[in-house]
Chain A
């Protein structure tokens, strides 16, 4: 089995699992309880929060744990939107290649009286800074741009965007789900940042929003007032402990790992581009060390994924045929790929458990699979 779909999710690492186990049957207390069982849980929760704050170089009360990055992104955008509305601000700026949880949040706000500007990207998926600057007006309450794209791996010029936002006095949010643990993050000027646990060898069902103290937002979940009143619901202590453990571990090995993965990525890119009629999607250099994304003309992505799966190799695609609404990937269209090219897309995302031997097997199998499917295709001679 060769798992090359690490941008979708990752395996929980054993150290993380071990750190979580005591919180299921032994330290199972509710962190809000007054007795010592509760205090035990509360201590673990707060120590995790402090570690996360140290990692993100922020104050402990700026860390809000929640259920996923989808929730963190919703909380950041809707939470600020509801607050901004009170001051007559109703305009949101996002990039055209955000994750669906940001784009669909934006769409929902639009249906509810807000205005949204989608900032275009260039052919590599880099956000157009001039267009972004121009989009900001007096009514803009937030600019949200992902740190790195989940499909094509392009790293966005976050420092520059944060600078523009600061100059204009607008809050900035960044979905850093794919970037964290792969590249060093520069979060100094960012108002809000979303992270997910299960992309960095932590458990599913946990995420966090880092939110600066001076940014006021409305909660989406009302209840017992957990997480500084911004996210009610009994804290998932086991998950949070595991998440923060995963953060620490992934950062510790990042310098070595990202180099190792980048080498494997480059080998894959080189070999794949030897296949005729193949395009690389995303930036040639400014991309995540673990991401490769291609368009193979005249074949369809779901077929590629399933053929690879027959060989025990697991990857993913942005093909229309594989999407529930039969629409091609909005990211691939935004970088100028034709729907027919988006159709033959393949995303390969590496992780800490992959090795060079697997890469070599993949490089051998891939051309076979593409050829086999092209032989079936009416457009291939």
Chain B
């Protein structure tokens, strides 16, 4: 079901952990539906003076695909410029993992979202102009979280009424 590459990342995930005093943090997903990813970035400059991700670390509550994509995103992000990373797509992540089962593609979206949210967080903290693309994405993520929370609230209530608690 999973490619060897994905299993390799799951078995020995890269860059797992937190960055104390991170320049940006992206928190996506939610505890109710399960998939949660927190991504931390440290920003620096390369030789040409462009802003790059110096370090990226993550913590993830999720399946094999969620853990593997967290690991891959963090390795891809390191050393790349912020401009480049804003263009990063989840297809690229799936490609890097040599494919994911179709039902698991959403986990790779989550990983890219986490990275973009971390960059968004960094830019807004620095009071810098946020590119249109990131701004839009940020709004979508917030909306989605609210929607999921609402959906699951109804869901949980319905289920609870079904249970006779002793």
Contacts and interface: CB of A to CB of B under 8 A. Distances in A.
A333 B162 CA distance: 9
A306 B166 contact: no
A378 B159 contact: no
A303 B67 contact: yes
Contact of B166 (A123, A300, A321, A377): A123
The 10 closest A-B pairs by CB, nearest first: A321-B63, A378-B59, A302-B63, A378-B38, A377-B61, A336-B163, A343-B34, A333-B159, A120-B162, A122-B166
A232 interface: no
Interface in B1-49: 7, 10-11, 13, 16, 27, 31-38
Contacts of B67: 303, 376
Interface string B76-101: 00000000000000000000000000
B164 interface: yes
Contacts of A320: 33-34
B162 A300 contact: no
A339 B163 contact: no
A128 to B, nearest CB: 5
B163 A299 contact: no
Contact of A310 (B11, B38, B60, B152): B11
Contacts of B152: 339
A376 B16 contact: yes
Contacts of A299: 61
24 contacts: A96-B162, A118-B162, A120-B162, A298-B61, A303-B62, A306-B10, A310-B11, A319-B63, A320-B33, A320-B34, A334-B162, A338-B156, A339-B32, A339-B33, A340-B32, A376-B13, A376-B60, A376-B61, A376-B67, A378-B27, A378-B36, A378-B38, A378-B60, A379-B61
B31 A300 contact: no
A326 interface: yes
A365 to B, nearest CB: 15
B34 A340 contact: yes
Contact of B61 (A324, A334, A338, A378): A378
Given A321-B34, A339-B33, A306 B64 contact: yes
B7, B32, B64 interface centre (most CB from chain A within 10 Å): B64
B34, B38, B156 interface centre (most CB from chain A within 10 Å): B34
Contacts of A128: 164
From DSSP, what is the main secondary structure of chain B's interface residues?
A: mixed
B37 to A, nearest CB: 8
A123, A124, A302, A319 interface centre (most CB from chain B within 10 Å): A302
B139 interface: no
A378 B37 CA distance: 7
A317 to B, nearest CB: 10
A333 B7 CA distance: 30
Interface string B147-166: 00000100110011011111
A119 to B, nearest CB: 9
B162 A379 contact: no
A85 interface: no
Nearest to A342: B34
A376 B58 CA distance: 8
A339 B164 CA distance: 17
B143 to A, nearest CB: 19
A52 interface: no
Interface in A318-348: 319-322, 324, 326, 328, 333-336, 338-340, 343
Interface residues of B, number: 34
A121 B64 contact: no
A375 interface: yes
A335 B166 CA distance: 11
Nearest to B106: A326
A279 to B, nearest CB: 15
B53 interface: no
Given A122-B166, A302-B64, A306-B64, A376 B34 contact: no
Contacts of A123: 163, 165-166
Nearest to B39: A378
Contacts of B64: 302-303, 306
Contact of B59 (A124, A310, A376): A376
A215 interface: no
A131 interface: yes
B66 interface: yes
Contacts of B65: 321
Contacts of B11: 310
B163 A122 contact: yes
Nearest to A324: B103
B67 to A, nearest CB: 6
Given A123-B166, A300-B66, A376-B13, A321 B59 contact: no
Contacts of A326: 103
A192 to B, nearest CB: 25
Contacts of A306: 7, 10, 64
Contacts of B66: 300, 321
Contacts of B32: 338-340
